[in-house]
Amino acid sequence: MQNKTMMVCRCEEVSFDELVKTASEYNCSARELKLRTRAGMGYCGGRTCRTMVDQIAHIYQPRSNNDISLKYQAPIRPVRFADLGEVKS
């Protein structure tokens, strides 16, 4: 039987187990945990996983309420140059 774990970041396929392991091994801040695992760096820009990544990091490296947690990133989409320079008549 295959070991199943909860996916926290679907865009980058980062599991809960991977986040906990990384946070405990490196005593990561939320930002460092994001950089080490790429959780929150996918297409959605962290809209679905940011809170969980921040909470896991907070367990291993407590922060005060005044500290800045992870922020949302606007999703970006590729745009063809032809679409940018298209002349409409």
Question: For residues 28 and 57, what is the distance between their CA atoms, to the nearest angstrom?
Answer: 6
Residues near 75 by Cβ (< 8 Å), separated by ≥ 6? 43, 44, 45
Q: Are 36 and 28 in contact (CB under 8 A)?
A: yes
pLDDT at 45: 85
Q: State residue 75's pLDDT score.
A: 61
Residue 1, pLDDT score: 47
pLDDT tens sequence across 16-65: 999 999 999 999 889 999 999 999 998 888 888 999 999 999 998 887 76
Q: How high is the pLDDT of residue 52?
A: 92
Per residue in 1-20, pLDDT (tens digit) is: 455 689 999 999 999 999 99
Element (H, E) at 36: helix 30-37
